[in-house]
Every structure is written in C-alpha cells, then in structure tokens.
Structure 1
C-alpha cells in the first residue's frame, strides 16, 4: 500500500521571525551541456518501454538525455543532463515545490533562523533511510557538507564548481541531536534557503562514501525515489524504484537513461518506440512530433543562455573594439529563425526577459551590422592574416545545434575580415580546451532557471569563475563584481534589481561575450506517459509519472 505523500505545506518556516516565502533560486546544476559519442543506441538490453502494470502506476521510462553522465556524484557532476539523472537518487533538506519556484520542506520537516540570519536550524524527518539501508540523520547531513568544505575531513573532495558561493557562505555545520542540524553562516545571505535546493546540498550516504571511496562516482547512494540498478558505460544508466522510499511509492518501475547525441538518431529512436521520452529535441523534430497523433511536445521556461565567449586575455580579443565588432557581426536572426526555427528567443544580454531583473536597455547595444563590424575591426588594426581558433562541442543538453550555429557565425566573421578556424570536438576535449589559457573563442551554454540572476554572473562573468571554472572569457570588472556581491546580501529588492540592471549594462559595454539566444526546455514523448510536466526549476520530476497501457 502506498504511504501518504508529503503535502508540501510543511511546518513553520521562519526567517528573522517572519513567514518565509522567498523566490527560489535555480538548481545548482546551472550546468554546461554534455556531449559524447553516440552510445550504441540499438541492440542493448533495454526493454521496450513497458506498459503500466496497473492504472496510475508502473511502467518503464526510456529517456534519451542526448549525452552520457560524466559521473553520478551530486557533489562532483558538471553537466546539466547529469543532474537530471542524479536528481532521481538524491534529495536535500528542502526542495522546490512541484510546478513552482517556492521552497518547501523535504528531508527537513521545518527550519528557523536566528534574528541576525546567521544560524539556520533544521529539524530532520525521522524514519528516512539511504538506499543501502543506513539511517539518514544529522551526522549524514554534516558529513555531506564537510566532504566538500572541510579539508581536514578524510573524505574531503571539493567539487569542480569554483563559483559555489552557497558553500563559501557556510562557516560550519553542527549536529545538535540525531535529528537536528544547524548551519552557521559567515555573514548575512539573503538567498540561503533557496540555495539549499541544489545539488551541492543533496545528502549522500556516509557509509557508501567510506565504502566506495573514489568509486562513489559510479556507485551513488542517496535517499531518493529511485536508486541505481546498474550503469552500462557507453550505453545507459538504469534506475529502479526505491521500494522503501520514505514518501510513498514512486510511479515508475524503472528508468533507463540513454544518450543519443545525433539529432536524426534521436528522432528515429523516439518514433520507433526505442525510447519514449527525449530531452531538448531539435526544431525539425519538434515539428514532426507536433504533427504526430502518438506524441506530445512539452515546453517550459529557462533562464539559459547560448553565447560566444571571447578570451579577453588572448591577443585577438584584448581590444574592446574587436569584441564589439564580433557582436555586430553575428546574424542572430539567421540562427534563431533559419537554424533553430524560432524554438528559441533572441538574446541581447546575459539575462533572459524571464528574469525580473532583466534590463531592456541591453537591446539597444548591438544589432546585426556587418559594415559597422568591419569598420571597428579596421580601427582596431586587425591583421588580415590573423586566424582565430573557434571551439565547438558536437552536442550536449543546452547546446542546441552547436555545429550548425557555429558555422553561421564562422561565415559572419569571415564576411567582416576575421578568419575563424572551427574546431569541433567531443565533450571532454572541448571542456579541456575552453577551461585553459589557450582558448580564444568558443560557443557556450549556461543552463539556469529564470530566478536569481547571480548564477549567470557568478557562473560565467566574474573572477571567481575563472578557469578551471567557466568564465571562459577570462573577463572581470571591479564595479560588476561589487554590484553582484552587494545584490546577494542586501535586504532591499530594489537595490538588488538596480545592481543587476547596471551589471548587464557593464557586460554589454565591455562585450566579453556575444549573447545569441535563450533556449526553452523542450521534451518530446509518447502519449502513454502520464502526469509529466516540465519543472520551472529545470529539474526532471518523475515521482508521479507513470505509463499507461
């Protein structure tokens, strides 16, 4: 018999003695798209997507991610697609309520903060166990954070997110009883609670980490509704229902996460029934699925941005006139309308219009003007024989159609007198290159929900994100750094908004990037899949999804 579900209304949520209804920040998996070779789409031991064993529950979901996870550790993963897999297995103390960007209690039943906002105490849910049968408790919470923050911990393994300000603000975590834990902050932090929704805050089994060591990357153990059955490298990750999940019975029997990066193969797999759901389907596939009586296309908002990053420390892009020339040179209309067939929105600045802090002034800085671009290039004394290395990944979630888009841009640059040698590589080689000092020009995709904007700035536009982080422009500005830092700690929303509006202007004035487009979440799936909807948080919520016979 299914256990009753948590309603999400929860116990008392207080902040400085007041009711807490904060806009939630995006999942910490503001992550780059992953791209790997085609992973043996045919002939594996994947069952046909199964029918439900009974009405309202059951079935096997075969989900095409478009790329294979790099690992399955919530504190070490990099790719957005990986976070969708890991999200099924791990949970945090709080989460975004389904269909909203409101924070609700999850592994914690309630919380409260001190008057000065520096101490946050969480009362944990009792009776929760990890997939290995060990208990979830305050010690496990402390272990999960010490593992990332405390260099003296024997299991210290800081993740690769150098921009993890949500961890940097935590001074320490103390255990105040088996079911009580307190986070002590280094300073006021207006977004602390919403930060606690993300991957760095998901709780891992201490026993499993101790048992597997480095191999925990491939042997994840959490408390979530689904648990790892097996990972067939180069083929698929298979999850099965957690029969002892604390919050009832999850809807699906099994989930097979596959990775088919090539668009034609992805469409064929979906139409043939080899897979029954696909993420980030391409524009031609969208048209075909919408014309099909057997399939559904569901879309959801994002704050994601696809852009060009120019390394301002490299010789070609030190001069702001050159960077401005590239901004004028790129024909965004051709990319948005001809390549992506209006499945995306044109980008004019680092934030999408879905952000409350969006500054419409960014729309006035650059338009497609190849003559002006050529003139700026001439003013900068651009050598006719100079060649720029232009890097591109072959695919990955959020990358859209990177090679086709990059080819348009390459032609645009050639038209103004800039020769760009396009180097298209698989994900690992591309990642190594863009996070090095040798990078000159690259395509980039940054996946965030349209909530708090600092994940854009702190993720790719501040010095804290310099490589091996993802500020591949190697650009920083003192005024912008201060504006973003102040916006995070101010209690006045008007001040924060003004800071972010000015920060957008600085980015466009100095032009370290070329904003190209903002993508949507686009899922294509068979009509047999029930109770699915894209989440505003951009996470993949499958708890109540089932498959109809």
Structure 2
C-alpha cells in the first residue's frame, strides 16, 4: 500500500481552493485581538429562518450556515478544514483521524483514528463509533439506519462503496472509483455518540444531541435559540467562551437592531447600507473572499432559456459592477463565470461576459426574441450566503427588462427553497431560481450543478463533454491535473451559460467591541474556539 501523507493531502485540497488574494477587510486581528480571557457568552444572529438541525448532517436544513454554526460546533468528522488562518483558502487537516494513506489504485483509504477522545456523554471514540455513524447513513440493514440523515448526506457519502473496521483505531473506506474529493466529503460526515443514538433513537436524538465537538448541547427553543456550552475537554483545545447562543434572525435590519441593542454581539451579513455606520459606531466589520457564487439557474424546459443565445444575452445584460459596488457597497465582487476567483479552478480566460447591452440585444434578435418574452424568477427571502436576495433579484429583473425580458419575481422562505432544490425541482416551479452556492470547497456539489440524475440538478441543462471532464476530474487524485480538467469543463459552462453569473460574496459579518480573536477565513466555515468575549 503506497502511503500518502497528511501534508500531501492538505496540499491537494488547497490546490483546488487556494489563491493568493489579500484579505478584503479586517480579519483575525480585526475583532480587537486584545483579550485572551476566558468566559463570556457569544450570541450570534444568524441569517437562518430557523434553528438548523442539530443531528449531524441535518444541520444542512439551513444550508452551509447550519454546518458552520451547528454541525461543526457539536461534532467532528474524520477530517476538517484548517480555519485558523485567513490568508489562503483552507486545506484539509486531521480531525478524528490523525493520518491516512491510500492504496496504489486510489480506491481504498486507511484512516488512523485519534486516541483519547470522548464524546460529550463520556463514550470513548473508536472505530466502532465511525462504523455506527456510517451505518446510520449507508447501511439499510442497520437497526439505526436513518433515511432522513441518509438523504441529507447523499452528496457527501456518494463516493463511498464500502467501509470496514480494521482494529479499534483503524478503519478503511473504499470508493467505487478513485475519488479526489473524499477528504472534503468526510468533513461533513460527522460522528454522533453511538451510545446516545441507541438510547434515544434516531428521531429523539435531536432532543439531546451528543458529539465530540468543541461545544456541548445545552438547550433548544425551536424558532428562538440554541444554547451550547464550551467543551472543556475538547481534543482540539477548549473554546475561550463559556456559552454559545445561536439565534435565527432572517431579516437583516432586525439583526442590526439586535446588535445595537446588545441582544446579540455578532451578526452574519449586515445590510450593506448600514456597514459604514456600524464601523463609525465602534463595531468591527470582518470580511474575506471565499468560494461563493450568487447565481441564477435557467430552467431550460421553459420558454426562451433553452436557446444558448438567450442565456448569453441575459449574461451580457447584467451590470454586475453596479450590483456589487452600488447595491452591495463592495461587500461582493462581480462574478463572470461559475468558478469563483477564490478558487484555483478560476481561469480569467473563462470570463466571457462583460456588460454589453448592444451585444445582448443582437443575440435576442438572432434567437428570434426581438420583442422579448415573459419569465418567472424565484428567490429566497434570506438564508445562508444569500446576501440581500430580493434587492439583487429586483435589480436583475430591471436590467433584463432592457432586452425585453419581463420577469415576474417570486419569493419563498429559505427552507422551502432548499426543499425544492433537494427534491431536484425548480423552486416554486419558476423559470429561473437564484441563490448562493459553494463550488470547489464542497467539490461533490460541482457535478450536481449540471449532471442529470444528481440530487440538486434543476436546470435541465447538460453537456456530454462537461460531464466527461468533471467525472474524470472527480476520479483524479492528483490536484494539479484535477484543476486543469475542471478548467476545461468551466470553459464550456461559460460558453453555454446555463446560469446567470452575478456576484461572489466577501462574507461580511459584524461583531461588538466586546468580541475578540475572530479569524475570518476564506471559507464558508469558521473556528469559534479562538473567540473570546469580555465579561459583563
């Protein structure tokens, strides 16, 4: 068996995501830095409309914000992201596995498990716990197989064909084909306490979830707040704060009001118009580029969008600079292709669409739509990574009107949007659906965007060459070769324009002067163990 050391695997993931970009605002030291005292309570106003699911992968019910603040705080996976730096896209580092190696054919991975780790209920972490967690998601013969969790994990578990215990500290995972993003997938396949699941049952486990993560479940008030406490015995180093309180506040103005009143001391995504006033009032605004795309999927089963010239025309008709700089006040950057600039897959040669109304109108005439057509667009009212979705969608509708496309705007709650997406159908039956996505930091999602039969395929567009290139990339372990294959696929995606590329977020969040030690990584995720809060 040929050994592939952790450092090489970290480099492999970083090669897909890393790019030399300076931070676009205050990062780690920007939250004050000074206080190293422990204790205090961090209260976060999330963009989520509801408390994310507290049972491992069910945190994804509120998108990647759920993973960020719930899954990765209560639980650990075999691997995790390096979130304690803010200068490069985070690579993969050891989690509950300390090292791993691969077989010569790249299909069998052997993981060596961390010693001395216990779940919050005292249960020792070992190979049996990993097998139990995987059985829950992948073994329909297991008495604790959980279809709801299996469905939520379908993208992340999809590469795994089998797994086995070697001894108490070693497991193997086998994939049907070599898989270059398995280590990324494993960050999201977190491990619950088998003792707690057996005692409560799958459904009731959410009433008192138990993991190995940096925070321990304390209480849950549905729709109001989730309270966690610091795991003083955390193997990765105990958090500095005593308590973490998560509150769903989907309205941006309400989040800011909660911050100013002291109800919360951290908010995700402020109204862009309010950022300068918050700075002047003494709050710290943190932001950084990351793997984010705000885009619209064209449903090519609907009028107009089946013609590539119409899709290209729409992309030429959008003034992304105005959206990024005027509407969003520099908290986002124009996106001219599917691959965000903060990824190694980004190739400036694939930026095909500047703002050009003359070209857009010519393409509409060429496609036989000189007089335009009517279409519908669905957008969530808020949610993970979605910025200010209704104003952005309104701007898009106004700009498309300039080439004769009349847009009927529909809005839905984020949970309803995700439910339709996860069912593989357009949100609210619309001709266009617009929201945010991660790309190469959760690489299993990439093929799902455009491959028939994948769980989140909704646009009815596919291309045999793109499918072949992206499948080959998935099956390529070498990171440099994998990036080049994805770049080729992205070129075709740019030319075929199955999406309206809009902006990439810079991940703004605001913290009170009492909050220190926040590292704002180039990631959807964050390490809260470094954060401290002044005691009142």
So what's the TM-score if we normalise by structure 2? 0.86
Distance 1:389 1:358 in 2: 30
Q: CA RMSD in A?
A: 2.6
Report if aligned partners of 1:279, 1:524 keep a CA contact under 8 Å in 2: yes
Residue deviations 1:136-172, cap 9 Å, x none? 21111011112222222232225445862x5233221
Give the alignment partner of residue 66 of structure 1, picking from 47, 67, 79: 47
Match of 2:500 in 1: 514
Contact 1:17 1:115 in 2 (8 A): no
Q: Counterparts of 1:1-40 in structure 2 under 5 Å?
A: 15-16=3-4, 20-23=8-11, 25=13
Cα pair distance change 1:456/1:123, threshold 3 Å: closer
The question of 1:530 aligning with 2:516 is answered: yes
Q: Following the alignment from structure 1 to structure 2, what is the Cα–Cα distance between the partners of residues 59 and 373?
A: 55
From 283, 292, 296, the equivalent of 2:281 is 292
Deviates more, 1:391-400 or 1:14-23: 14-23
Structure 1 stretch 220-229 or stretch 374-383: which is displaced more? 374-383
2:78–2:95 contact (8 Å) kept in structure 1: yes
**Shift in Å, 1:18:** 9.3
Aligned partner of 1:86 in structure 2 is 71
**8 Å contact kept, 1:392–1:425:** yes
Match of 2:430 among 436, 439, 464: 439
Shift of 1:103: 3.1
Paired position in structure 2 for 1:543? 529
* Correspondence list, 1:81-230, <5 A: 81-84=65-68, 85-97=70-82, 98-99=84-85, 101-156=90-145, 157=147, 158-160=149-151, 164=155, 166-196=156-186, 198-200=187-189, 202-210=190-198, 211-230=200-219
Is residue 14–residue 113 contact of structure 1 (8 Å, CA) maintained in 2? yes
Q: Between 214-223 and 153-162, report the one with greater CA deviation.
A: 153-162
Q: Tell me the distance in 1 between the aligned counterparts of 2:367 and 2:219.
A: 56
| 239, 245, 248: which one aligns with 1:250 | 239
**Shift in CA distance, 441/254, structure 1 to aligned 2, threshold 3 Å:** same
Question: Which runs of at least 4 in structure 1 moved beyond 6 Å after TM superposition?
Answer: none
Distance 1:416 1:492 in 2: 44
2:111–2:172 contact (8 Å) kept in structure 1: yes
Q: Among residues 488, 497, 511, which one is paired with 2:474 in the alignment?
A: 488
Superposition deviation, residue 371 in structure 1 = 3.5
The answer to whether the Cα contact below 8 Å between 1:15 and 1:117 also exists between their aligned partners in 2 is: no
Relative distance call for 1:404 and 1:383 in structure 2 (3 A) is same
Aligned match of 1:269: 258
TM-score normalised to the size of structure 1?
Answer: 0.84
- Count of matched residue pairs: 500
SS at 1:498's partner residue?
helix
Helix, strand or coil at the partner of 1:317: coil
Distance 2:153 2:497 in 1: 23
Is residue 316–residue 440 contact of structure 1 (8 Å, CA) maintained in 2? no
The secondary structure found in structure 2 opposite 1:536 is coil
Segments of 5+ residues of structure 2 without an aligned counterpart are 15-34
SS in structure 2 of the partner of residue 20 of structure 1 = helix
Distance 1:491 1:104 in 2: 17
Structure 1, unaligned runs of 5 or more: 1-12, 27-53
Contact 2:13 2:479 in 1 (8 A): no
In 1, the alpha carbon distance for the partners of 2:515 and 2:153 equals: 38
CA distance in 2, matches of 1:331, 1:209: 51
Q: Which residue of 2 aligns with 1:473?
A: 459
Which one has a larger percent helix, Structure 1 or Structure 2? 2
